[in-house]
Amino acid sequence: MTAEPDDSIAVVATVRDVRDLVRSRARSAVEVCRDALSRIAAVDPHLHAFNTVVADRALARAESIDRDPDRWRDAPLAGVPVALKDNLCTRDVRTTASSRMLESFVPPYDATVVSRLEAAGAVIVGKTNCDEFAMGSSNENSAFGPVHNPWALDRTPGGTSGGSATAVAARLTPVALGSDTGGSIRQPAAMCGVVGLKPTYGRVSRYGLIAHASSLDQIGPLGRTVHDVALTLGVLAGPDPADATSALEPVPDYTAALTGDVRGARIGVPRALVEQGVDAEVSRAVNLALDALKWRGATLVDVDLPHARYAIPVYYLVSTAEASSNLARYDGVRYGFRAGAGRGTANGTHGTAEAVPYEGAPYGAAPCDLKSMYAKTRARGFGPEVKRRIMLGTYVLSAGYYDAYYLKAQQVRTLILRDYEHAFTGTDPVDVIAMPTSPTAAFRIGERAADPLQMYLADVFTVSASLAGLPAISVPCGFTADRLPVGLQLTGRRFDEATLLRVADAYERDTGWSKQLPPILSR
Ligand code: GLN
């Protein structure tokens, strides 16, 4: 396989570079777009980061930007190619959540984040592969096949925004959006060697995000540099009348926060939590990163998060309960896949993915067929992990078990939140809390697929910030001996993304991790 020459725009350029080239007219948006598309065509067959590439639409959009330079002169993302996780609705562009259930679903509207990116000058090039309905930690739960990690093709990119992380790591686009319910932006960012930010719950509108677990879901950016992530967050953040859970909190200038100065910053380290179960090479890289921050003038402080060790059971009770309720809408009636009916539905999408004729009369002929149509639709439309979550979630919400499981989990969730609050505001307060993003580097495709519990353990360090609604970032902090990337996770106070970004950026300035190219680009 041969990649494009390494001086192409996508390899050398960050979001800021591309934007500046387009704004100054040193490059046209069309040239930049063609470059991204040709790279995707050359490299993505080996990676499978994309479910859908919208080449014509992207080029038409780039042309429109070139035709009207005045309009885009100050646009923060002028001409920047962006990849979107395939659970973000795009008008007239198939949005599948990597599920058979939505294989031919074409939304009639754009997610708010999509409209905001386009208003900022971005050029959407495609929709990225992910775990089905964003459930998983490896991208192996995609109904369309796994994504391959650009650093080692036999390994997973992490999940669930693995296609987005891979697109950025392989320089297919300088930035991508993901969603994070329990770690799905941060964990693939760590495993692919890119920066990924999960904003505070409510910071970014979720209108048009296909729901997984509504008290946890957030949309956020993945990029090669902290600056690019800060810039993109500024475009996405802010209230939205279409999402009642979006916060009114003012949006600061995140790039202005990147001063490079961390003198006096207090960084909490939950040593008891990270002592066990972390791969030695991951620990080593994270400890070296903490030393580097100390050297820059930050103070390391021991913190205790005593309830964080319950975060995995709590997360898998709360998230499955919410998922079982959110996924009830996929019944084959309103939209998406319908087993065997072979008829169009109201909004023009239909169940033709299934060619087998429905047994007995077509849908609508007899009331007794409806229940069996639901059952067949859901049995065939959902993959095994999604079914497991629906069953778990339905069980924990059921009358006899609600108090013992769901209610108890919500109570422990409050204790986890209080641990963080104590660390941020107690007697010895810290500004951010540092730990590994993932206990291991990228694992092999297939290695954990047969053991769901083993897979869930990959989330041990990411789910507590999700349960507490706090912002958290993963920034590359080195490699294992096998040249697999390692991520440092920083968690911050509610709506204090600026401090997270400042600390992560200061660290990044001391390292060259973001400039390293994965082997897929040099073969
Ligand atoms: N791995 C977690 C899960 O499977 C997180 C997923 C996510 O953040 N979307 O639920």
User: Ligand 1 within 6 A of 178 CB?
Assistant: no
pTM of the model: 0.94
Closest CA to 342 of 373, 385, 383: 373
Cα 376 versus chain centre, distance: 30
Mutate to test the pocket of ligand 1, among 129, 140, 181 (most ligand atoms within 8 A of CB): 181
What is the C-alpha to C-alpha distance for residues 94 and 102, in angstroms, rounded to an integer?
8
Distance 84 CA to ligand 1 centre (A): 17
The topology (CATH level 3) of 7-265+434-522 is Amidase signature (AS) enzymes (3.90.1300)
Q: Categorize the per-residue pLDDT at 519 as very low, low, confident or very high, splitting at 50, 70 and 90.
A: very high
What digits encode the pLDDT tens for the residues 432-445? 999 999 999 999 99
Q: Which residues contact 41 (CB under 8 A, 6 or more apart)?
A: none
User: Ligand 1 within 6 A of 135 CB?
Assistant: yes
Taking 90 as the threshold, does the pLDDT of residue 256 lie above it?
yes
The chain-wide mean pLDDT, for the chain, equals: 92
Taking 90 as the threshold, does the pLDDT of residue 269 lie above it?
yes
Structure tokens at 74: 């100050």
User: Ligand 1 within 6 A of 141 CB?
Assistant: no
Nearest CA to ligand 1 atom 5: 182
Conformational region of residue 336, where left means phi above 0, alpha means psi within -120 to 50, and beta covers everything else = left
Domain-wise residue ranges, the chain: 7-265+434-522
What digits encode the pLDDT tens for the residues 4-55? 444 566 556 899 999 999 999 999 999 999 999 999 999 999 999 999 999 9
User: Ligand 1 within 6 A of 459 CB?
Assistant: yes
Mutate to test the pocket of ligand 1, among 128, 135, 389 (most ligand atoms within 8 A of CB): 135
Closest CA to 47 of 165, 180, 135: 165
Distance 471 CA to ligand 1 centre (A): 16
| CA-CA-CA-CA torsion sign (161, 416, 460, 285) | positive
| Percent of the residues in the chain that have a pLDDT greater than 90, as a whole number | 86
Taking 60 as the threshold, does the pLDDT of residue 318 lie above it?
yes
Query: Which single residue is written with the structure tokens 């609604």?
Result: 469
pLDDT at 334: 83
User: Ligand 1 within 6 A of 322 CB?
Assistant: no
User: Ligand 1 within 6 A of 182 CB?
Assistant: yes
Structure tokens at 490: 């920083």
pLDDT at 207: 98
Q: Are 171 and 520 in contact (CB under 8 A)?
A: no
pLDDT at 523: 57
